[in-house]
Structure 1
Amino acid sequence: MANPSSIVEDGIEYSLGKYDGKRIIYDFPKILIFLEAKGKILFGQHFKIFEEDKDILFKLSNYFIKDYINCEKLRIDPDKGILLTGPVGCGKTSLMKLMRYLVPHQRSYVVMPCRNIVFAFNHLGYKTIEDYGDEGFFCFDDMGIEPIGRHYGRDCNVIGEILISRYELFLQTNLKTHGTTNLSAIEIEDMYGSRVRSRMKKLFNLIDFDYNTNDKRK
């Protein structure tokens, strides 16, 4: 029988903690070892866990493993989604892609660039808003830098409309939505309006990188 506290990657077994017969008691240093190994598989051998990012990873890890005690201490609501914010190149997208693998028994989400969604809207129209505002499980990547959508001459703030639909769905079914953004709260309101921003506060836990974080792509 497979050990539920371990994950096997490329024939190597990575322990994430101990299984006491009822639940997994996670060990954060072991989680970091697994995440770095999985990151190298996904993104290449240059990938590494930076010391400056460990606080962010601690928050994300406790959220995804549903450690309710630590989440309460960290003021994270496990029933809401994650909005990961920070400057360009700090690693937001990579971390959200990576965290999907920490709890393989949970339903995974699709990381979808917001620009791609807008381009789909320009081609297909309002069906795109229905598609992403439905019961799919998504992380909307790079929110706020996408262009305004235009279909048959009509402008539409596509991601803003999708977030409103996702909010209504969250109230009805508790389906989570995740996202990443480079924008500040004020910039988000400028982009999407106060109505969407107020819903985002209820949709997301805000986890933010320090805005002095180095660009890891350089």
Structure 2
Amino acid sequence: MENPSKIMEGGVEYSLGKFDGQSVKYDFPKILVYLDAKGKLLFGNRFKIYKSDKEILLKLCSYFIKDPINCKKYEIDPNKGLLLSGPVGCGKTSLMKLLPNLVPHQRKYVVMPCRNIVFAFNHLGYKTIEDYGESGVFCFDDIGVEPIGRYYGKDCNVIGEILLSRYELFLHTPLKTHGTTNLNADELEEKYGERVRSRMRELFNLIAFNQNAPDKRD
């Protein structure tokens, strides 16, 4: 049987904990060692795990490995998606690309910038909303700062419509929706309206960086 507590990267074997033949007892410090190494492979040698991010990482890791104790402690529902919020440059997108590597046996999501989806809508129209709203597993990157869509002279709040469709999808299938955003709850409601904001509460576990988190791109 394949041992899910071991992962090979770049010819090096990393241990994430202990496997008893049925389940993995994960070891958070070992997970951080692996994430640091995998992050450097994905994003370059400037990538590093910051001490100030360890609580955020513990919550994110608990979600991905479905740790029942920590999920309960942090009020995380593993059946819902993730909305990772925080200021520009704090590392949201990188972490949402990195963390699924902890659980290679689970279905991966596709990270899609919201502005790219709106540009597709401007060319292709409402089929774009169907493509992203009615199937697949996605992480919508930078929710709330995308422009309004416009197709044949008619404006459309594209991501808002997609989120409403994703909510209906969530009610009837196990398909999750994930996202990142720089905006707070009030700003999201101003962008999309109270109805979409309400649906987002049902779709997502909110995990937030401190608003004073530094820009790691400097």
TM-score above 0.5, yes or no: yes
Specify the SS of the correspondent of 2:98: helix
Q: Deviations over 1:60-98 (max 9, x none)?
A: 000000111210011111111000000000000000000
1:217 aligns with 2:217: yes
Runs of 4+ off more than 4 Å: none
Q: Deviations over 1:36-56 (max 9, x none)?
A: 100000000000000010100
Corresponding position of 2:154: 154
Q: Which amino acid aligns with 2:73?
A: K
Query: Structure 2: which 5+ residue stretches go unaligned?
Result: none
Percent of pairs identical after alignment? 73
Corresponding position of 2:21: 21
Report the TM-score, using the length of structure 1 for normalisation.
0.99
Q: Tell me the distance in 2 between the aligned counterparts of 1:27 and 1:135.
A: 34
Specify the SS of the correspondent of 1:47: coil
Query: Structure 1: which 5+ residue stretches go unaligned?
Result: none
Corresponding position of 2:117: 117
Corresponding position of 2:176: 176
CA shift, 1:2, in A, is: 3.7
CA shift, 1:4, in A, is: 1.8
Q: Which amino acid aligns with 1:121?
A: F
Corresponding position of 1:74: 74
Q: Tell me the distance in 2 between the aligned counterparts of 1:215 and 1:48.
A: 13
CA shift, 1:134, in A, is: 1.8
Corresponding position of 1:163: 163
Q: Tell me the distance in 2 between the aligned counterparts of 1:109 and 1:217.
A: 24
Aligned pairs (5 A) from 1:12-161:
12-161=12-161
Report the TM-score, using the length of structure 2 for normalisation.
0.99
- CA RMSD across the alignment: 0.7
Q: Tell me the distance in 2 between the aligned counterparts of 1:66 and 1:135.
A: 23
Q: Tell me the distance in 1 between the aligned counterparts of 2:134 and 2:94.
A: 25
Corresponding position of 1:198: 198
CA shift, 1:174, in A, is: 2.8
Q: Which amino acid aligns with 2:25?
A: I
CA shift, 1:3, in A, is: 2.4
Q: Deviations over 1:2-47 (max 9, x none)?
A: 4221100011000000001110110000000000100000000000
Q: How many residues align?
A: 218
Q: Tell me the distance in 1 between the aligned counterparts of 2:130 and 2:150.
A: 16
CA shift, 1:135, in A, is: 1.7
CA shift, 1:100, in A, is: 1.4
Q: Tell me the distance in 2 between the aligned counterparts of 1:89 and 1:106.
A: 28
